[in-house]
C-alpha cells in the first residue's frame, strides 16, 4: 500500500555518456514507499538509464539520488539493498532454481537455516516451490521470470527494480503475468519501480506512471488521470490512441477555446496549453469519446461535430473501429461497441458526423 513517505528521491539528476548529449536532463522525481511506479517511454527516452542509475549500474553525471535518506551516488550495487529483475532474467544456468534464489543470501553470509527458510518462502510466493531442483534450461519463459522475481525478493529489499521483465513472453502469458505482478505487489507492499515501453502494461499495473521523452518526464500522474487528462500532445499520442485535429485558435472563454479547422469547421475544446487567439494548435481526442452519426448527403453536422465519410471497419474482438475520412485532416478512428445495429448503415463512402463534448477535446499549442 502506497504511503506518503518518500523512499527514493532524484534531485537534478543528469546523465551523459559522451560529455555532450544529455540522456537524462535535470530529473526531479520522488518515489513513495509501497507504490508501483512505472517509467514509461519510447526507446532512447532515458527511462532505462534512470533505472540503471538507481540500481547502481550507472552513475549520474550530476545531481543526487537518495534512497531512504542515504545518498547513493557512489554506493556500489551490492550495497544498495535493491532487488533487480532483468529482461533476460539473468539466471545462472549452472545453478538449480533453489541455488539461484539462494545466491543473494549466500553473498550476504546468512546462515544455512535462514537461507533455506527464506528460499522456501520466496518460491511459495511465486508458486514455484515444486521446481526447486530444476535448472533454468528446464523452465519456460514465464517460470524463469517467476524465479528471477523470487531471487529479487528473497533478501527482503527496500526496493525492487524491473527492466522490461515481461518483454520476452508471448502476449497471453505477458498479460497473465501483469496481473500476477500487481497481485504480488499488493500482497507484499514492497516498492516496485518498473520500466517498459508498453502502455498497456503501465496502465494495467501502476499506481503512478512517469512518461519519459528526450530525457525529460513529460507527465507524472495516476493512470486514470494520465489517460483522461494528458498534459501535452506527446503524452496524448503515446498513452492509448488519439485522433488529432489541426487548426487555429479563434477565441478563448475561460478554460475553453474555439478552433477553426482548415475547412472552416469550428469546434470547441479544453484549452490545456492556455494558447492565445491566432495560435496554431493541435487538438487530441480519444476514439471512444467520438459519437458516430449517419448523415444524408445534404445534411450538415451539428454543434461540435466534424463532417466526414466512412472508410472501413476494423474488428478488434471486443469492439469495432471505424476508419473515417475528415476533410483536410488526418484520418480519424472511432470505437464502436460490438452489436451496434447502426454499423450496417456505415458502408464505405457513406457520409457521417463525428460528435464530441468540448471537455473531451484537449487543445495543445
- Express each pLDDT in 89-114 by its tens digit: 889 999 999 999 999 998 888 899 99
Q: Give the percent of the chain with pLDDT over 70.
A: 96
| Separation of alpha carbons 347 and 186, rounded Å | 48
Give the Cα separation of 347 and 313 in Å (integer).
9
Write the pLDDT tens digit of every residue in 193-214: 999 999 989 999 999 999 999 9
Please, what sign has the CA dihedral across residues 308, 314, 316, 318? positive
Q: For position 343, what pLDDT does the model report? A: 66
- What's the pLDDT at 251? 93
Averaged confidence pLDDT in the chain:
90
Q: What is the pLDDT of residues 343-358, one digit of tens each?
A: 666 778 888 889 999 9
Q: What's the confidence (pLDDT) of residue 284?
A: 95
Q: Which residue has the higher pLDDT, 244 or 4?
A: 244
Q: What is the pLDDT of residues 253-282, one digit of tens each?
A: 999 999 999 889 999 999 999 989 999 999
- Burial pattern 43-67, b for ≥16 Cβ within 10 A else e, equals eebbbbbbbbbbbbebebeebebbb
pLDDT at 1: 59
Helix (H) or strand (E) holding 143: helix 141-153
Question: Can you tell me the distance from the alpha carbon of 61 to that of 77, in angstroms, rounded to the nearest whole number?
Answer: 17
Kindly report the pTM of this predicted structure. 0.89
What's the pLDDT at 296?
Answer: 59
Contact 24, 189 (CB under 8 A): no
pLDDT confidence of residue 67: 95
* Choice between 251 and 299, residue whose per-residue pLDDT is larger: 251
Q: Quick one: cell of 168?
A: 520476452
Q: Which residues contact 298 (CB under 8 A, 6 or more apart)?
A: none
Q: Is the pLDDT of residue 300 over 70?
A: no
CA separation for the pair 11, 122 (Å, rounded): 34
Residues 363 and 359: their CA atoms lie apart, in Å, by 10
Residue 333 clears pLDDT 60, i.e. is over it: yes
Q: Give the domains, in start order, of the chain with CATH numbers.
A: 6-234 (3.40.50.300), 241-364 (2.40.50.140)
Burial letters 105-128, b for 16+ CB under 10 A, else e: beeeebeeeebeebbeebbebbeb
Amino acid at each position: 500500500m502506497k504511503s506518503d513517505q518518500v523512499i527514493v528521491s532524484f534531485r537534478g539528476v543528469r546523465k551523459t555518456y559522451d560529455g555532450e548529449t544529455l540522456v537524462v536532463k535535470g530529473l526531479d522525481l520522488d518515489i513513495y514507499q509501497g507504490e508501483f511506479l512505472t517509467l514509461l517511454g519510447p526507446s532512447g527516452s532515458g527511462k532505462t538509464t534512470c533505472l540503471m542509475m538507481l540500481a547502481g549500474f550507472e552513475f549520474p553525471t550530476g545531481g543526487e539520488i537518495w534512497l531512504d535518506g542515504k545518498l547513493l551516488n557512489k554506493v556500489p550495487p551490492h550495497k544498495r539493498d535493491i532487488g533487480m529483475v532483468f529482461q533476460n532474467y539473468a539466471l545462472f544456468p549452472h545453478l538449480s532454481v533453489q541455488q539461484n534464489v539462494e545466491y543473494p543470501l549466500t553473498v550476504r553470509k546468512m546462515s544455512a537455516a535462514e537461507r533455506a527458510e527464506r528460499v522456501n518462502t520466496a518460491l511459495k510466493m511465486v508458486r514455484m516451490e515444486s521446481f526447486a531442483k530444476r535448472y533454468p534450461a528446464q523452465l519456460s519463459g514465464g517460470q524463469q521470470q517467476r524465479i528471477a522475481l523470487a531471487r529479487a525478493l528473497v533478501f527482503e529489499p527496500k526496493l525492487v527494480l524491473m527492466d522490461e521483465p515481461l518483454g520476452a513472453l508471448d502476449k497471453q502469458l505477458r498479460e497473465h503475468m501483469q496481473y500476477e505482478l500487481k497481485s504480488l505487489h499488493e500482497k507484499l507492499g514492497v516498492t516496485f519501480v518498473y520500466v517498459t515501453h508498453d502502455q498497456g502494461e503501465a496502465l494495467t499495473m501502476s499506481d503512478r506512471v512517469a512518461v519519459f521523452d528526450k530525457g525529460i518526464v513529460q507527465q507524472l500522474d495516476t493512470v486514470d488521470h494520465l489517460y483522461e487528462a494528458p498534459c501535452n500532445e506527446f503524452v496524448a499520442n503515446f498513452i492509448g490512441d488519439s485522433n488529432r485535429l489541426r487548426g487555429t485558435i479563434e477565441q478563448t472563454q475561460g478554460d475553453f477555446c474555439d478552433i477553426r479547422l482548415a475547412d472552416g469547421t469550428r469546434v470547441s475544446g479544453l484549452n490545456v496549453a492556455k494558447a492565445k487567439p491566432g495560435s496554431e494548435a493541435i487538438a487530441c481526442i480519444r476514439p471512444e469519446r467520438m459519437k458516430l452519426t449517419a448523415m444524408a448527403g445534404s445534411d450538415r453536422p451539428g454543434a461540435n461535430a466534424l463532417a466526414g465519410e466512412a472508410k472501413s471497419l476494423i474488428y478488434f474482438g471486443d469492439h469495432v473501429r471505424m476508419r473515417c475520412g475528415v476533410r483536410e485532416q488526418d484520418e480519424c478512428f472511432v470505437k464502436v461497441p460490438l452489436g451496434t445495429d447502426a454499423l450496417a448503415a456505415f458502408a464505405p463512402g457513406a457520409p457521417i458526423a463525428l460528435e464530441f463534448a468540448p471537455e473531451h477535446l484537449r487543445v495543445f499549442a
